[in-house]
Amino acid sequence: MAAAEAFAVAELAHLARDTSKRRRTLEAIESRRSMASPSVWFAMISDWARINQHVLDLYGSDGLIGGGVGVLLVGTLNSGIRSEQDMRSRGRSVLSGLRHFEARPGVAPIRQAVMPANAGRFAGAVARALRRGARAAQRLGQRSRELMNLTEALPTPVEAGRLLGVDLLRFELAQAAAREFTEATDVSKSRFVFAASSSPPLSAVDLELQRNGARTIHLFHGGLGDDWVGASEHCSVIHGAWTENDRRCLASIRGNIMVGGMPVRLRVKQRTSRPQHVLVMSSYLHRDYSGVRDLELFERELVELMAQLRSNPTTRHLQVRWRPHPGSLDARLAPYVQRLTALGVEHLRGRSLEQDVGEADLVVSNMSTVIAESVLTGLPVFVHLMPLHWAAPASDFVHESRRFFHASDGHRLVERYLEQCKAGALDDGPEDYMLTQLFGPRRRPAPIDLNAVP
């Protein structure tokens, strides 16, 4: 395929053009070697602060940093930080996405498993990627007509080119870098906590570490999402879930699941008997859902709920705010923003979750990590469930008085809660139920002792 060759050549040209800068980055990283191999390593992505955040928040300040901890950069060596709104990295430091370590240089050895420093190994990895890409492209081309009859999901030339060109190259480079790392570092008694490990380059590193005796843990970013099965699709020895609910969902799919805890970013709030501020959070228009798996139909239910809250006489006094996921596509949000703005709904963009939840008296969200975070504040939390979730164990934690699908049902639940408040009957039983289902008898998340992981 010409597309595969074009992507491979483009990636190689990018690497060649960036060689001097990357070499300086490699030298700076390698200069932080430590004679003793740490017992715990954090495998993180240099420019993706959001995906690293839960690992750093859980373990970055509890005394593990220094002495017994190291950092292994995986996936990329890009400088700066990318965000949900802008996936391009912006900034100069290769440690920008590792908040604690950038602020405290020298507290831990920092290594990388993105590309080999040795020129011979680098060239060998490139050669293997090109050979394997060419063979795969040839086979795909020979069977394209047959595959076309079997599925409509045949990769486009661009997708095939990216897979056979860029992704194969990154996979081979990561595998070669991981071998270089394990040859120089004794990892046989170490534990590696991955902030993410599902992509091919990260999986290559994960498996190479395991081959050399390391125990790998994928502390999965987030919980309670609609991909509760896909969350377990990685190569790590242990899956670290945020909640007991996630553990129960995945127990029949894979073994070696532990509840690793989750960061607590939101403060506990005092419930008010006169709720005024309603925060609606949604992620159905996230860029990852556009295309084949389009969830806009479900976004419309939440939009309709906000419209009803603002137009119905029993709830029009409420101040409604809408916080779409930061990764939502602005072009697809635009018509809904226009409609809701005319009804007095405030569109929140570019603000922190802490600020938005902190100003709310009542929270509505689809299945998302923010539910677990919000229920910890003590606020009433209402959950919009897609049809597939109603009979799935992923939603078992949601109390029956807090779940809905149709906008009219959601409005009815909010109305009922307002009536209870007016009558002085503030019932926090549904949220107590959710806390117990999510976190067990303690009803609060707690990080595990990484050194005690078998």
With respect to residue 151, please indicate whether it lies within any of the assigned structural domains: yes
In this structure, the answer to whether residues 181 and 319 fall within a common structural domain is no
Instruction: Point out the domain boundary residue: 196, 219, 242.
Output: 219
Amino acid at 148: M
The half-sphere exposure of 35 on its side-chain side, counting CA atoms within 13 A, is: 0
Pick from 198, 183, 201, 262: nearest CA to 236:
198
pLDDT recorded at residue 104: 56
Find the helix packing angle between 19-30 and 2-17, rounded to 10°.
Answer: 60
Residue (of 226, 187, 218) closest to 390 by Cα position: 226
What's the CA gap between 129 and 171, in Å, rounded? 8
Please tell me whether residues 38 and 141 are part of one structural domain.
yes
List phi, psi (to 5°) of 88.
Answer: -80, 135
Same domain, 282 and 199: no
CA distance 69 to 424: 51
The helix/strand/coil state of 240 is strand
Same domain as 325, residue 190: no
Q: How many helices (H) and strands (E) does the chain have?
A: 17, 13
Compute and round to an integer the Cα radius of gyration of the chain: 24
Judgement on whether residues 71 and 196 belong to the same structural domain of the protein: yes
Q: Is residue 206 part of a domain?
A: yes
Residue 250 lies in a domain: no
User: What is the residue range of 402's domain?
Assistant: 277-441
Query: Residue 150's pLDDT is what?
Result: 47
Which residue do the tokens 């928040």 mark?
A: 57
Residue 446 domain-assigned? no
281 and 189 belong to one structural domain = no
Residue 62: per-residue pLDDT: 47
Query: Where a domain ends, among 184, 219, 254?
Result: 219
One DSSP character per residue, 140-168 reads HHHTHHHHHHH-S-PPPHHHHHIIIIIIH
Report the domain count for the chain.
2
In this structure, is residue 451 part of a structural domain? no
At residue 73, the 3 state secondary structure works out as strand
One digit per residue, pLDDT tens: the chain, 454 residues? 555 556 556 655 655 555 556 556 656 666 555 556 788 898 988 887 777 878 877 776 544 444 478 889 998 887 767 665 554 545 566 666 676 665 555 567 788 899 898 889 988 998 888 888 777 777 766 666 655 554 555 555 556 666 666 788 889 999 999 999 999 999 998 899 998 777 889 999 999 999 999 999 988 877 765 455 555 678 888 888 888 888 888 887 778 888 888 878 888 888 888 999 999 999 999 887 766 568 899 999 999 999 999 999 999 999 999 999 988 888 999 999 999 999 999 999 888 889 999 999 999 999 988 898 999 999 999 999 998 888 778 888 999 999 999 999 999 999 999 999 999 888 889 999 999 999 999 888 887 777 667 7
Residue at a domain's end among 219, 247, 269: 219
Angle between helices 2-17 and 168-184 (to 10 degrees): 50
What CATH number corresponds to the domain at position 403?
Answer: 3.40.50.2000
Q: Are 39 and 68 in contact (CB under 8 A)?
A: yes
Residue 384 counted as domain residue: yes
Phi, psi of 281 (to 5 degrees): -115, 140
From residue 176, give the alpha-carbon distance in Å to each of 119, 199, 232, 423: 11, 16, 25, 67
Residue 449 falls inside a structural domain? no
Please indicate, yes or no, whether residues 195 and 116 belong to a single structural domain of this protein: yes
In terms of Cα–Cα distance, which of 231, 230, 163 is closest to 200?
A: 163
